[in-house]
Amino acid sequence: MHLRFTDEELATLVEMVSLATEMANMNPNDEGNAGFARFENLENKVLEAAKNTGLAEIIEYDVDRGKNRVTEKFQESSFFQQCFDEFRNAVFWEELMVRLADRDLSRELGEATYLAMDDEERRKRLEPIEKNYWAKFQREGMTPLFWIDHNEDA
């Protein structure tokens, strides 16, 4: 199969496979390594092809990995990096809210009662707590958060 791309389309494809590879690299378990290798190998193939066109200035060879990659300079200003950064930011805040709400509801009801709830009831009880945290974080960011060591007074 042969595909033909304009330079602009190829640049977009480079960003797409780089974003996909960055996402696959976030998989921390051993089972994910095979999937990541597939993504990384395809990214290398696309980057090698792109290097032979007008995109050579945004692609470099990583000697340590033995594969091509986009340059840091390109990555810093790329759309795919903006997407990746926004995704990580959104996941961070979502996870923080969900975990804090879970903790609060578990403390309020007791762990046994909390664990005995079905998913629908738990979701119904967690939603207003999550919304409250979301409003606080939107208003104040991380300012209200601080760490209390168990051996220290607040």
Q: Which residues contact 10 (CB under 8 A, 6 or more apart)?
A: 49, 50, 53, 55
Which residue type, as a one-letter code, is found at position 136? Answer: K
83-130 pLDDT, tens per residue?
989 999 999 999 999 999 999 999 999 999 999 999 999 999 999 999
Q: Give the model's confidence band at 30: pLDDT under 50 very low, under 70 low, under 90 confident, else very high.
A: low
pTM comes to: 0.69
**pLDDT tens figures, 57-71:** 999 998 998 999 999
| Residue among 52, 66, 38 at smallest CA distance from 10 | 52
Among the listed residues 88, 76, 68, the one whose alpha carbon sits nearest the alpha carbon of residue 17: 68
Contact residues for 79 (Cβ-Cβ < 8 A; gap 6+): 15
